[in-house]
Amino acid sequence: MKLPRLVFLALFLFPLPALAETEVFSLGGAVEAALERNFQVASARAGRQAAAAGTNASRSAFGPVFRTSYGLERRQRDLSPLGAAQDRDMASWTVSLTQNVFAGFADLSALQRAALAEESAEAGIAKARIDLANLVQEHFFSYLRAKQEVISARDSLERLRSQLASSRAFHAVGVSPRLDVLQAEVDVSTAESALLVAENSLETEKARLNTLLVLPGGAEVDYVGDFVFTPFTLTLEECLERAWRHRPDLLMAEKAVAIAGMDERLARSAFFPRIDAQAAWSTYGDEWSASGSLTRPVRFSEWSVGVFAEWTFFEWGRTWFLTQQARHTRAKVRAEADNLRQEILFAVRERILALREAAQRIRVAGKAVEQATEAYRMADARYRSHVGTMTDVLDAQSKLSSAEASLAGAKADYSIALSRICSAMGQINATLSAL
């Protein structure tokens, strides 16, 4: 009688940890969570900030440069006609202000290049978000397909176990042969193996979604929802028009061409002279303060103002070859941008065709499931009435399982095709509604 009191006291002093609540994500919630947490998007944002800092660094080249220098050295000086030498410390301090007047448009080209790189990095954020949303949606629907396959595999296993029990009962009374029992046992083992494979696929897809959403390994998570069957009414021309306007990788390709043009201008700027204006003030002396010496108690400082030009005339063709390299690089990048437009054209066409194919497969697979269900019901009834054979029942069961898997696969493929066509058009549709 004392044991319940001890248990109650132990629970009062050492309460059990609260069970972790299961976090539930719908399709839209999973996409939004991934866009907020995923490191790929964070990396793209950091790249955008780095590009902005590069633009500010390039802009600073237009301002004057302030420099100061201080030196302390020991000199040997002749102080007598006989050539006697004496060591002496000398200190100097210089302050200068230099303004670039002309540098062959190099500073302007560098600033424009940095601005283009910043715009490209901004488009990179959009591309990372679109790619991530599409990836989450694909694995979300793959998870739903795996979940449906697990349910189908369990139903199939239950049906086969029921058939095995019937076969054993009929064999016990001498109505059916031992062969029917053996065939049923083999099919049950095969169904158990298929169920294990389906459950493993489900856990794999769940782990992938957890990774995309940056969830801890032991998090209790469930993904709920259904396949999307939003009618797609856009024509090829409308899809392409959206792709040309919204695809961030296409914008990045055009920026890459412009950046290559700026690189060519930078290389060509070495053909021109560089002109700088400078104002400087300096002082020197034999003490650390650099404020004169015994032999020069006054006028130990000086100032200067001037314009300096520097022009390199010959470097064995270095500037010429660098210019040619930049020109060919720009042609290469332009060809890659044109090829990207062709790839986008193909991708949009391919995904529209895949969408139409999946829609047709859903209709066909739905009818096949209805027919396979009725065929299995009839085969089972005939076997239980001792009119049909176990082979007919197992064959009908196999066709029903195959039809259910085909229907789940067609629904998943249609939903994934919707996600991919949105990605091909450069858009994020978290719930894949109202395309």
pLDDT of residue 78: 54
Q: How confident is the model at residue 1 (pLDDT cuts 50, 70, 90)?
A: very low
And the tokens for 141? Answer: 């629907």
pLDDT of residue 84: 52
CB 213 within 8 A of CB 91: no
Residue 404 has pLDDT above 80, yes or no: yes
Question: What is the token pair recorded at 430?
Answer: 């978290």
Q: Rounded mean pLDDT of 72-87?
A: 62
Phi-psi region of 261 (alpha: psi -120 to 50; beta: other; left: phi over 0): alpha
Q: Please name the fold of domain 20-62+103-273+311-424.
A: Outer membrane efflux proteins (OEP) (1.20.1600)
- The pLDDT value recorded for residue 4 is 54
Burial zone of 219 (CB within 10 Å; 0-12 exposed, 13-18 middle, 19+ buried): exposed
Cα-Cα-Cα-Cα dihedral sign, residues 324, 326, 331, 336 = positive
pLDDT of residue 396: 84
**Which distant-in-sequence residues (6+ apart) come within 8 Å of 281 by Cβ?**
94, 95, 96, 301, 302, 303, 304
**What pLDDT, in 10s, does the model give residues 313-329?**
888 888 899 999 999 99
Average pLDDT of the residues in 165-190 = 84
Three-class SS of the chain: CCHHHHHHHHHHHCCCCCCCCCEEECHHHHHHHHHHHCHHHHHHHHHHHHHHHHHHHHHHHHCCEEEEEEEEEEEEEECCCCCCEEEEEEEEEEEEEEEEEECCCHHHHHHHHHHHHHHHHHHHHHHHHHHHHHHHHHHHHHHHHHHHHHHHHHHHHHHHHHHHHHHHHHHHCCCCCHHHHHHHHHHHHHHHHHHHHHHHHHHHHHHHHHHHCCCCCCCCEEECCCCCCCCCCCCHHHHHHHHHHHCHHHHHHHHHHHHHHHHHHHHHHHHCCEEEEEEEEEEEECCCCCCECCCCCCCCEEEEEEEEEECCCCCCCHHHHHHHHHHHHHHHHHHHHHHHHHHHHHHHHHHHHHHHHHHHHHHHHHHHHHHHHHHHHHHHHHHHCCCCCHHHHHHHHHHHHHHHHHHHHHHHHHHHHHHHHHHHCCCCCCCCCCC
Residues 331-336: what's their mean pLDDT? 95
Q: First CA to last CA across the chain, in angstroms? A: 69
201, 153 Cβ separation under 8 angstroms? no
**What's the mean per-residue pLDDT of the chain?**
87
In the predicted structure, residue 333 carries a pLDDT above the cut 50: yes
Give dist(CA 303, CA 279) in Å, integer. Answer: 8
pLDDT digits (tens, 9 = 90+) for 34-79: 999 999 999 999 999 999 999 999 999 889 999 999 998 887 665 5
User: Per-residue pLDDT tens for 117-139?
Assistant: 999 999 999 999 999 999 999 99
Residues 393 and 375: their CA atoms lie apart, in Å, by 9
Given a cut of 80, whether residue 181 has pLDDT beyond it is yes
Confidence bin at 16 (pLDDT 50/70/90)? very low
Count how many residues are written for the chain: 435
* pLDDT above 80 for 11: no
84/388 Cα distance (integer angstroms): 130
Of 104-118, 168-182, 204-218, 252-266, which range is least confident? 168-182
Which residue from 61, 121, 51 is spatially nearest to 266, judged by alpha carbons?
61
Measured between alpha carbons, how far is 198 from 200 in angstroms, rounded to an integer? Answer: 5
Amino acid type, 209:
L
What is d(CA 65, CA 278) in angstroms, rounded to the nearest whole number? 9
The rounded distance, in Å, linking the Cα atoms of 114 and 52 is 8
pLDDT band of 162, cuts 50, 70, 90: confident
Which of 112, 113, 130 is CA-nearest to residue 248? Answer: 130
Residue 19 reports pLDDT greater than 50: no
pLDDT band, residue 280 (cuts 50/70/90):
very high
User: pLDDT tier at 270 (50, 70, 90 boundaries)?
Assistant: confident
Lowest-pLDDT choice from 185-189, 277-281, 393-397, 407-411: 393-397
The dihedral region occupied by 250, where left means phi > 0, alpha psi between -120 and 50, and beta the remainder, is alpha
| 202-254: pLDDT as tens digits | 999 999 999 999 998 677 889 998 888 888 889 999 999 999 999 999 999 99
